[in-house]
Amino acid sequence: MIKVGIIGSTGYAGAELVRILTMHKEAEIVWYGSRSYIDRNYASVYQNMFKIVDAVCMDDNMEELAGQVDVIFTATPQGLCASLVSEEILSRVKIIDLSADFRIKDVSVYEKWYGITHKSPQFIGEAVYGLCEVNREDVKKARLVANPGCYTTCSILTAYPLAKEGLIDMGTLIIDAKSGTSGAGRGAKLPNLFCEVNENMKAYGIASHRHTPEIEEQLGYAAKEKVLVNFTPHLVPMNRGILATEYAKLTREVTYEEVKAVYDQYYGNEKFVRILERDVFPETKWVEGSNYMDVNFKIDGRTGRIIMVGAIDNLVKGAAGQAVQNMNLMFGLDEAEGLDLVPMFP
């Protein structure tokens, strides 16, 4: 049985980790970390866990935690994991970080976009970017995994096969993405109040969203060139879900069958990426509560462009589900253990 500690267990991503790991046959949560609710019963913070989780919240002491568990999940704001991790800790325990601290390989890019000084840049090179469908073999050998962001998971996987095969002009890629409000976290923020969000839709972080360099870096690895994208996120009045609609100029004339074959080549054997039938396009409701990503495309012969669409649940495949998928790989388990979550509908 894998012993698990969670730092940040009372945020939305942390709570989703608790929900998933509670059903995991090979894992046991022994530490529910939460700086905001120390000594509070976890079920009093999330009443849905009443008579399911009988534990109190503890502090975020990573050094103490490393001696009690096999893996630590850090579902915390940017900067915290980097300030806590050390060689001594990594020699004793594996870490899966859900923040951006180790996702971007160029520390100067991280510090520019996140506005903070990186506290442990010596581990950036070692950290494996935990996009399982792309870096599976590296994840298996890792002791530090940088769990991808929610927008980035959807945006990268949607375009990855075509970027990898050189079918799209990366200089023309535009990503238009929408997210539910849980993507902003559980903290009280004026823009996320019900009256601000309900019956409203807005773009934000225009030409400045912090997930942009992460998307560019990973698609750059795929395309083997420096990539710059226009990435525009939008907030929509729903709890969960991300829908990314992406546009790019094709590098040559292609047929539906050719493009479908490329997607099949990369995702045909992937459990958690579902390529939809022709002219059926992803909807967030079809993946809600699950670790699935749905993807499809449409060739626009009139403009010489291709339109790619992907959808995920931002808290599952975009955060906690992917983190558990990474844990399964790191410990040699069935990759899908604990993640056979049927999408909820309606």
Q: Tell how far CA 29 is from the center of its chain.
A: 21
Query: What gap in Å lies between CA 99 and CA 102, rounded to an integer?
Result: 8
DSSP labels, 175-202: EEEEE-GGGG-SS--GGGSHHHHTT--E
User: Rg of the chain's alpha carbons, rounded to an integer?
Assistant: 20
Catalytic residue among 57, 81, 132, 150: 150
154 has catalytic annotation: no
Question: In this structure, how many other beta carbons lie within 10 angstroms of the beta carbon of residue 169?
Answer: 14
| Local structure of 293: helix, strand or coil | strand
Q: Tell how far CA 92 is from the center of its chain.
A: 25
Query: What gap in Å lies between CA 330 and CA 4, rounded to an integer?
Result: 13
Query: What gap in Å lies between CA 54 and CA 304, rounded to an integer?
Result: 58
- How far the first Cα of the chain sits from its last, in Å, is 35
Catalytic residue IDs: 150
